Amino acid sequence: MKIALIGYGNMGQELEDLIKEQKHNAIVSISYQNKNDVLDIKGIKKADVAIDFTSAELVLETIEKVSSVGVPFVVGTTGWYDQLPIVEKIVKEKNTGLVYGKNFSLGANIFFQVVGFASKLLSSYGSYDVAGFEMHHKGKKDSPSGTAKKIASVIMENFPKKKKLETGRLDRQIKEDELHFASVRAGQYFGHHEVLFDSKADEIKLVHTAHNRRGFAEGALLAASYIHNKKGIFAFEELFAKGVIV
């Protein structure tokens, strides 16, 4: 599979290293390798799939340009989901394919399912409350993380008492129907997420910690393999949960 990388930050370089280890994939284009570079549309046209890890500010324009040349797209960039209806329209009009995800890590997607199961089970015992916590490196631009928002949505889908997500500072007593998910930005953390179930009797803690970026790169390549020669827009988490991506 011929791949165009869009973005050459930490994730772009991790993808490059992983692809170099493989015989069945090859890089045909790298956009934004240097600070003043532009989108390499000429190179992207040669690719079977493009993979984007840039910034939320660039995503919409990039999707429009890549879709216009008919190349399927994997979007690993987070923080742009308020524009999802526009992206869905673009993908449909251009009759192309796109996979987006709040987290492409295989372990994190297993974690989503574990959290869903635990939330459903523990919600049936009225004595438990639930909260979340996440930590990322100091260079991360969005807060809370897309992964934290996904975990929160999984909790609220399965823990009926929690109706509203609170991610900021609370200078008041939290309400029973509010789920608090706190964020910290410091150091070099690749991604650390905790879900806490607490009662008067005990605490149950679920934790996922990424040791490096390799898991994210592996998931992005699985998504690229899936969307190659397909049409439509798909969430990576949904494909993973259905067992489509393995």
Residues shown for the chain = 246
Give the CA dihedral 154, 74, 185, 58, nearest 10 degrees.
-120
Among the listed residues 136, 149, 180, 193, the single catalytic one is: 136
- Whether the CB-CB separation of 136 and 209 falls below 8 Å is answered with no
Beta bridge partners of 196: 131, 205
Q: Encode 209-231: b = buried (16+ Cβ within 10 Å), e = exposed.
A: ebeebebbbbbbbbbbebbbeee
Structure tokens, 132? 């979340």
Is residue 242 flagged as an active site residue? no
Beta strand residue intervals within 186-238, DSSP E = 192-198, 203-209, 232-235
- Whether the CB-CB separation of 133 and 182 falls below 8 Å is answered with yes
Which among 114, 117, 99 has a CA at the least distance from the CA of 193?
A: 114
Among the listed residues 2, 65, 140, 161, the single catalytic one is: 140
Is residue 140 flagged as an active site residue? yes
- Eight-state DSSP code of residue 119: H
Which among 86, 85, 90 has a CA at the least distance from the CA of 73?
A: 90
Q: List residues with catalytic annotation.
A: 136, 140
